[in-house]
Amino acid sequence: MNSLVILLAVLTGLALAAALLSFASLFHAQRMARASRARTQEVEDRIEATLRMTEAGIEALTTELRDLEQQPAFSAGPAAPRSGFNLGKRTQALRMHRHGDSPEKIASTLELPRQEVELLLKVQRIVLNNI
């Protein structure tokens, strides 16, 4: 009979340990669920704040767009192309060439593209050869 009491005591101890472990697991699960809800609430609050800021930005842009639509349209048209050679620069370029300056130096001095200076010199050579 003594061994039967010991066996029942051991089984009772195991049952109590299992119940205690179950309660501890349940308590831990509840604590994790509360923490998860708290984190979820923080994320939702941040999302709401971001959404409010985005809506405010959209409203500001909408207002700005309405203001711009109410302003008169300004159309300047394309800018007129800058004239490369005027008579004075053409004369200077030809004079510098006669004095022996290179096309690169002429272009940098007169602030003109080198290709335009070379074209002017070629045209001048053609005109002189045809005379």
Tens digit of pLDDT for each residue in 43-95?
Answer: 999 999 999 999 999 999 999 999 888 887 666 556 555 555 677 888 999 99
Domain residue spans of the chain: 1-69, 87-130
pTM of the model: 0.39
Which H or E element spans position 61? Answer: helix 2-70
Q: State the pLDDT at residue 48.
A: 95
30, 24 in Cβ contact below 8 A? no
Number of neighbours of residue 118 by Cβ within 10 angstroms: 14
User: If 0-12 CB within 10 Å is exposed, 13-18 middle and 19+ buried, where does residue 105 land?
Assistant: middle
Interior/surface letters 45-77, b for 16+ CB within 10 angstroms, e for the rest: eeeeeeeeeeeeeeeeeeeeeeeeeeeeeeeee
